[in-house]
């Protein structure tokens, strides 16, 4: 069924603040008119002062950020700087220089260069792996963003573009993601780097650090070339939620062909978090192309699909039906014309937040945070949530791309930001960047329609070379 999405009127968004001073104009008396005029002048002076202050605040953002009142969180909000030295340009023959003049070297260039001398900075070798089974000492429970992360059997975790389900019934976390442990190649000259579909990997954990491989819970189809899950296709960003009414675990994922023209979502179902999941079907939700996507289950049990559409120029959001196996015919366009993807949605104190990336394929770009009072919008863009590292780290989401934001139980306002540091030369060797995310304090970027007043709390993602969950200080 093709559904028309009601157009969000992006040129005239609703104003949230209505100022009583404006209504008094209609009273007519001279006295009240002068009161109104002076109030208005006062208001404008205040507004000007406020804008000046907030502007200076933005400039000071790197050093003078909001500090949490929660003592446990304070340490995670420390700003950690990175000072990576760019290696001097390599000697090249005059012929090579003539053929291809060297572009200016910067950190992004080094990151994208598979032969860079500082490759180990972004992709540390296996010697530096996080190995929970052999880590008795000081490094216990520490996350090292970017390092290879081993499961309980000593193999690198394969759960890219993933998400986490906390299963109330087994009191266990399940991490689902793309199992990409195969050769990276290009289907054709101009095609994106790819790995054939192997399936969806699943790992279980009680402490969010030690992960047991539960196997491939939704496997690729080897023979049937017409099947959505045929290995020559694309399966990305799988997410699983539990349906309390049907008692089923439901997986949604991005299904595509090698050229990304199918642009659909796929749905699978299981009785158990560890699968096996039965693949049901794929479709273009609401009749629209759908690429990067996620699902979000709200406190009232209503779940939503959020996907990049109209050639990634906007996102669409709409509730799933009661059994979570399909979309309904209700949907809204959001962030129209903003060209965002990799959505990761979360909620804090009744407000919805979302982190997104720009659209640059496997190359990293700047994250943005967005907020909304109602999940169906309007959604407003707040700015870059990344803090620390260095400027290039912040402009590249710490050389990674959002995939999920996990609320941390028992610590309201504290979340784990999960991102992928893609390695386009060897996608299976892409790394995980998990960092603390907090919500609190005033957003530092006044919004377009809020008369310069920050309406939302700031979302902050703090760079750390090494960090651990607050709960790990006293055991989980
Ligand atoms: C990214 C997207 C990834 C993958 C990649 C392919 O933009 O977020 O999930 O589809 O493009 O180039």
- Residue in 215, 204, 216, 209 with CA at minimum distance from that of residue 133: 209
Tell me the CA–centroid distance for residue 193 and ligand 1, in Å: 10
Whole-angstrom Cα distance, residue 314 to residue 338? 6
Q: Is the CB of 389 under 6 A from ligand 1?
A: no
pLDDT band at 124 (very low <50, low <70, confident <90, very high): very high
Q: Answer positive or negative: Cα dihedral of 111, 114, 120, 125.
A: positive
Strands 368-372 and 380-383, by their bridges, are: antiparallel
pLDDT tens per residue, range 391-437: 999 999 999 999 999 999 788 899 999 999 999 999 999 999 999 99
CATH of the domain at 365: 2.115.10.20
Could you tell me if the CB of 420 is within 6 A of ligand 1?
A: no
pLDDT tens track for 428-462? 999 999 999 999 876 655 555 555 555 788 999 99
Separation of 361 CA from ligand 1 center, angstroms?
5
Q: What angle do CA 297, 336, 322 make, to 5 degrees?
A: 25
- pLDDT tens-place string over residues 178-192: 999 999 999 988 889
Q: Is the CB of 151 under 6 A from ligand 1?
A: no
Residue 374 belongs to a domain: yes
The per-residue pLDDT for range 145-173, each reduced to its tens digit, is 999 999 999 999 999 999 999 999 999 99
Please give the structure tokens belonging to residue 249.
């675990």
Residue 280 lies in a domain: yes
The boundaries of the domain holding residue 237 are: 57-84+97-473
Is 135 a member of any domain? Answer: yes
Q: What is the pLDDT of residue 138?
A: 82
pLDDT, average across residues 200-217: 97
Closest CA relative to residue 179, chosen from 219, 148, 149, 208: 219
Q: Is residue 206 part of a domain?
A: yes
Which residue's CA is the nearest one to ligand 1's atom 5?
Answer: 361
Of 30-34, 290-294, 319-323, give the lowest mean pLDDT range.
30-34
408 within a domain of the structure (yes/no): yes
Segment 339-358, tens digit of pLDDT: 999 999 999 999 999 999 99
Residue 225 C-alpha to ligand 1 middle, in angstroms? 23
53 band by pLDDT with thresholds 50, 70 and 90? very low
What tokens were used for 319?
């509730």
**Which residue is closest in CA terms to ligand 1's atom 1?**
361
Centre of ligand 1 from the C-alpha of residue 362, in Å:
6
The residue whose CA is least distant from atom 11 of ligand 1 is 361
What is the pTM assigned to this prediction? 0.84
Residue 28 placed within a domain = no
d(CA 268, CA 280): 5
Is residue 379 in a domain?
yes
Q: What SS3 state is found at 268?
A: strand
Residue 35 counted as domain residue: no
Distance, CA 292 to ligand 1 centroid (Å)? 7
Q: What are the b/e assignments for 155-164, b being 16+ CB within 10 Å? A: ebbbbbbbbb
Overall number of domains in the chain: 1
341 close to ligand 1 (CB < 6 Angstrom): yes
CA distance 280 to 265: 11
160-167: strand order across its sheet: 160-167, 172-179, 199-205, 212-219
């Amino acid at each position: 069924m093709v559904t028309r999405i009601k157009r969000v009127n992006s040129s005239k968004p609703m104003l949230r603040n209505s100022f009583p001073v404006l209504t008094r104009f209609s009273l007519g008396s001279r006295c009240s008119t002068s009161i109104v005029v002076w109030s208005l002048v006062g208001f404008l002076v205040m507004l000007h002062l406020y804008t000046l202050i907030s502007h200076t605040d933005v400039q000071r953002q790197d050093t003078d950020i909001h500090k949490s009142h929660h003592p446990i969180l304070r340490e995670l909000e420390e700003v950690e700087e990175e000072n990576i030295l760019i290696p001097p340009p390599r000697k090249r023959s005059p012929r090579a220089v003539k053929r291809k003049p060297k572009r200016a070297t910067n950190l992004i260039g080094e990151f994208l260069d598979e032969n860079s001398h500082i490759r180990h900075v972004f992709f540390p070798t296996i010697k530096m792996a996080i190995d929970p089974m052999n880590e008795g000492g000081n490094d216990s429970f520490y996350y090292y963003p970017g390092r290879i992360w081993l499961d309980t059997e000593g193999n690198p975790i394969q759960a890219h573009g993933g998400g986490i389900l906390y299963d109330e019934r087994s009191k266990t976390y399940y991490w689902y993601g793309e199992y990409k442990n195969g050769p990276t190649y290009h289907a054709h000259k101009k095609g994106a780097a790819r790995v054939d579909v192997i399936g969806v990997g699943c790992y279980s954990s009680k402490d969010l650090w030690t992960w047991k491989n539960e196997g491939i819970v939704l496997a690729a189809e080897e023979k049937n070339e017409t099947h959505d899950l045929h290995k020559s296709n694309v399966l990305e960003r799988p997410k699983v939620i539990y349906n309390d009414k049907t008692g089923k675990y439901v997986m949604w994922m991005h299904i595509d062909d090698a050229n990304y023209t199918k642009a659909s979502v796929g749905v699978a179902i299981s009785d158990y978090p560890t699968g096996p999941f039965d693949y049901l079907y794929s479709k273009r939700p609401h009749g629209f192309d759908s690429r990067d996507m996620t699902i979000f289950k709200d406190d009232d049990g209503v779940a939503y699909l959020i996907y990049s559409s109209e050639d990634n120029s906007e996102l669409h959001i709409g509730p799933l039906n009661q059994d979570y196996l399909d979309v309904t015919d209700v949907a809204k366009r959001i962030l129209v014309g903003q060209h965002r993807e990799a959505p990761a949605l979360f909620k804090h104190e009744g407000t919805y937040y979302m982190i997104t990336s720009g659209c640059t394929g496997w190359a990293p770009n700047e994250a943005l945070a967005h907020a909304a009072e109602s999940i169906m919008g309007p959604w407003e863009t707040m700015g870059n949530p990344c803090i620390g590292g260095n400027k290039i780290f912040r402009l590249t989401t710490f050389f990674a791309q959002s995939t999920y934001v996990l609320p941390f139980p028992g610590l309201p306002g504290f979340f784990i930001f999960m991102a992928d540091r893609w390695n386009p030369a060897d996608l299976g060797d892409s790394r995980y960047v998990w960092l603390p995310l907090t919500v609190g304090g005033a957003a530092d970027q006044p919004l377009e329609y809020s008369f310069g007043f920050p309406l939302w709390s700031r979302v902050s993602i703090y760079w750390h070379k090494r960090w651990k969950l607050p709960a790990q200080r006293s055991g989980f």
